[in-house]
Amino acid sequence: MEETKTREEALAGLLNGMMVILLGGIFPAVVVWRLATDWQTVAAGNHTMTATEAIQGIGLTLISAAILRFGIRMLLRNGAALRRL
């Protein structure tokens, strides 16, 4: 990422960072929502999960962590630039 030169760029970077964080947080929320809707089936032990579904859940969680890390870095970098300007 390049250095911000104006306050508007820093503020836009803060907004973009927050949107990236929200996007990264939606993947785990979907996994939790899916488990919550089928909770009685899961608790009864009748839930069957294929390997493909398990890999997708793990993959989305790892991708989500990377997206969240990027969004937090954007917030920190643009927040520091805004304080500096």
Query: What does the block give as tokens for 66?
Result: 């990377």
**Helix 51-84 vs helix 7-37: crossing angle, to nearest 10:** 160
What is the predicted pLDDT for the residue at 28?
83
Q: What is the pLDDT of residue 64?
A: 92
pLDDT for res 76: 93
pLDDT tens-digit series, residues 26-85: 888 888 888 788 777 767 777 677 778 778 888 888 999 999 999 999 999 999 988 988
pTM of the prediction?
0.74
The helix (H) or strand (E) run that includes residue 67 is: helix 51-84
Please check whether residue 60 is in contact with residue 24, taking contact to mean a CB–CB distance below 8 angstroms. no
pLDDT at residue 1, rounded to an integer? 64
Q: Identify the H or E element spanning 17.
A: helix 7-37
